[in-house]
Amino acid sequence: MQEKKTGTIKPPPPAREAALRLLSRREHSAQELKRKLVARGVEASGAADAVAALAARDLQSDARYADQVVRTRIAQGYGPRRIRAELEHAGLTRDSIRQSLEHAGCDWSELAQRTLQRKFRGAAALRRRQWQFLHARGFETREIESALGDGNED
């Protein structure tokens, strides 16, 4: 029979082990990884040492993290200002952010256009539904076109 422990505090996991567990899920910036380790009960100096050791073995890389964030955000339709702000918040240097954005080779104007098309692709469907609604209410074609702004008014 197992005794139920009450009121005991679980000791924090070793910093390196906890950091590796976090990195196994996704890339993290050094600052983000330190913050998460401290939140899990690791002392700040221990967190910094663990992250530095992982970075020395290339298990943690701010450049890799930045590239991953840039690729992901581009795929989601975000522009360079938003991506830059997110990476600055994660503690990356402006130079590494600039390099990651340049390395992505994105045509930002084309991405903006694709993002708009993806977001507002339903505009034609909405217009069609509005037209059908007014038609079902008994309005004539010219009245519907006028109401929807087709510009056929004199």
3-state secondary structure of 3: coil
Q: How far apart are CA 119 and CA 50, in angstroms?
A: 43
pLDDT digits (tens, 9 = 90+) for 115-145: 877 876 777 778 888 889 998 888 889 889 8
CA angle 105, 106, 109 (to 5 degrees): 145
- Tens-digit pLDDT string for the chain (154 aa): 455 556 677 666 688 999 999 999 999 999 999 999 999 999 999 999 999 999 999 999 999 999 999 999 999 999 999 999 999 999 999 999 999 999 999 999 999 988 877 876 777 778 888 889 998 888 889 889 888 886 444 4
Q: How far apart are CA 101 and CA 80, in angstroms?
A: 7
Q: Kindly report the backbone phi and psi dihedral angles of residue 121, in degrees, each rounded to the nearest multiple of 5, phi listed first.
A: -65, -20
The architecture (CATH level 2) of 62-119 comes to: Orthogonal Bundle (1.10)
Q: State which H helix or E strand residue 128 sits in.
A: helix 123-136
Domains 12-60 and 62-119 share a fold: yes
The set of residues, in sequence order, having a beta carbon less than 8 Å from that of 18 and lying 6+ positions away, is: 12, 37, 40, 42, 50
Q: Kindly report the backbone phi and psi dihedral angles of residue 60, in degrees, each rounded to the nearest multiple of 5, phi listed first.
A: -125, 130
Task: State which fold the 12-60 domain adopts.
Answer: Arc Repressor Mutant, subunit A (1.10.10)
pLDDT for the residue 7:
64
The set of residues, in sequence order, having a beta carbon less than 8 Å from that of 112 and lying 6+ positions away, is: 79
Provide the residue ranges of all domains of the chain, joining segments of one domain with +. Answer: 12-60, 62-119, 122-147
